[in-house]
């Protein structure tokens, strides 16, 4: 809900710029169980909110590519251990991959309803697992996720790199006109700078 308030304000800050890509990466907190009354967002409201954010992005920057990134899987036990280490002894586990999967799947439905070639889904599950993960046991999922999170919930460097590479792959395949190789440089390469004239 908070994103619906701040998102238009963020976009306004860029209204005089040539925005090429807008990413929407929500759901990791929304998909926690109802026991977490502060962060939980029911699936139907998540769909409504995310749909509104995509609409706002399109209306603000019609030529931009909108990437809806699915909420990623978690290592629930690592997150629980992390919070207990912080002294949160009242914490009751509230992050479960089967529940997150519903929010993940909703992202595909949201993107499909726009029927807009500039709006695409980035599948964080396939990015991290190398497959959509449905055929993996929970133990196999956890094994594949090891090293990708700092605490079971938040991405470590490796997961961020994988996600960035997946976004670049999609750009190069679907939006070649904005692939990094085709964009004009704002600043020259270091070896083109005459240090004597600085």
Q: Is the pLDDT of residue 151 over 90?
A: yes
Cβ-contact 95, 153 below 8 angstroms: yes
**Eight-class DSSP state of 116:** -
pLDDT band per the 50, 70, 90 thresholds, residue 68 = very high
SS3 assignment for 136-180: CCHHHHHHHHCCCECCCCCECHHHHHHHHHHHHHHHHHHCHHHCH
Query: Does the pLDDT value for residue 131 go beyond 90?
Result: no
132 or 111: whose pLDDT is higher? Answer: 111
State how far the Cα of 107 lies from the Cα of 116, in Å rounded to an integer. Answer: 14
What's the gap between Cα 52 and its chain centre? Answer: 16
187, with CB counted inside 10 A (0-12, 13-18, 19+), is exposed
d(CA 56, CA 69): 16
Write the pLDDT tens digit of every residue in 21-52. 999 999 999 999 999 989 999 999 999 999 99
Summarize pLDDT for 89-123 with one digit per residue, the tens.
Answer: 888 999 999 999 999 999 999 999 999 999 999 99
User: Measured between alpha carbons, how far is 198 from 195 in angstroms, rounded to an integer?
Assistant: 5
């Amino acid at each position: 809900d908070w994103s619906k308030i701040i998102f238009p304000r963020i976009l306004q800050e860029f209204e005089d710029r040539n925005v090429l890509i807008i990413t929407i990466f929500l759901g990791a907190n929304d998909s926690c169980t109802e026991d977490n009354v502060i962060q939980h967002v029911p699936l139907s409201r998540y769909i409504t909110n995310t749909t509104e954010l995509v609409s706002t992005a399109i209306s603000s920057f019609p030529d931009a590519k909108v990437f809806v990134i699915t909420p990623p899987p978690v290592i629930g036990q690592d997150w629980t251990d992390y919070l207990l280490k912080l002294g949160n002894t009242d914490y009751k586990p509230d992050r479960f991959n089967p529940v997150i999967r519903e929010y993940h799947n909703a992202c595909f439905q949201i993107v499909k309803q726009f029927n807009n070639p500039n709006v695409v889904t980035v599948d964080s599950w396939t990015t991290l697992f190398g497959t959509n993960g449905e055929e993996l046991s929970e133990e196999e999922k956890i094994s594949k996720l090891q090293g990708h999170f700092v605490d079971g919930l938040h991405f470590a460097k490796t997961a961020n790199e994988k996600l960035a590479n997946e976004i670049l792959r999609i750009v190069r395949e679907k939006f070649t006109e904005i692939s990094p190789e085709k964009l004009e440089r704002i600043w020259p390469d270091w070896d083109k700078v005459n240090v004597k004239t600085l």
